[in-house]
């Protein structure tokens, strides 16, 4: 092998960089679990506006759409897929039940590195209020 020293250094750098997904979490949790959420304790409604599966994947799109409907189109009524009608409002509809920001929203957001910009306009709920 020609220039063996340089080539071996190159191979080590390559292997180090591209194996990063496997060692980068060396100091973190070895046994990663889905974050456990504190669901609303005294729900004012029987069920959320849409199914849990839909909300898990699409709640951010829904909230974005609600913002556009409420603030740009002045439409405050949302008709859910099962026909129920809801008032389009983050603070008066969503947060009436989901009032525990730290134990509900933040749990998934922090571990998945999501930084929503809801709170540049809305007041960030503190703790369990």
Binding residues for other proteins, rule: CB under 8 A, are 1-4, 7, 10-11, 14-15, 18-22, 24-25, 28-35, 53, 56-58, 60-61, 63-64, 108, 110-117
Alpha-carbon separation of residue 45 from 77, 82, 93, 95 (angstroms): 17, 15, 10, 12
By the 8 A CB rule, do 6 and 13 touch? no
H helices, E strands: number in the chain: 5, 2
Measured from the CB of residue 89, what is the shortest distance to other proteins in angstroms?
Answer: 16
Q: Shortest Cβ distance from residue 96 to other proteins (Å)?
A: 21
Q: Closest distance between other proteins and the C-beta of residue 98, in Å?
A: 16
């Amino acid at each position: 092998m020609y220039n063996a020293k340089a080539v071996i250094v190159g191979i080590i750098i390559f292997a180090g960089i591209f194996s990063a997904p496997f060692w980068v979490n060396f100091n973190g949790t070895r046994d990663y679990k889905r974050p456990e959420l504190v669901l609303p304790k005294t729900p004012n409604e029987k069920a959320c506006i849409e199914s849990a599966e839909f909300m898990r994947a699409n709640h951010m799109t829904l909230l974005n759409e609600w913002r556009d409907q409420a603030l740009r189109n002045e439409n405050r009524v949302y008709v859910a897929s099962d026909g129920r009608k809801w008032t389009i409002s983050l603070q008066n509809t969503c947060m009436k039940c989901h009032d525990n920001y730290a134990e509900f929203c933040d749990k998934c957001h922090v571990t998945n590195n999501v930084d929503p910009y809801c709170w540049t306009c809305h007041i960030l709920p503190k703790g369990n209020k």
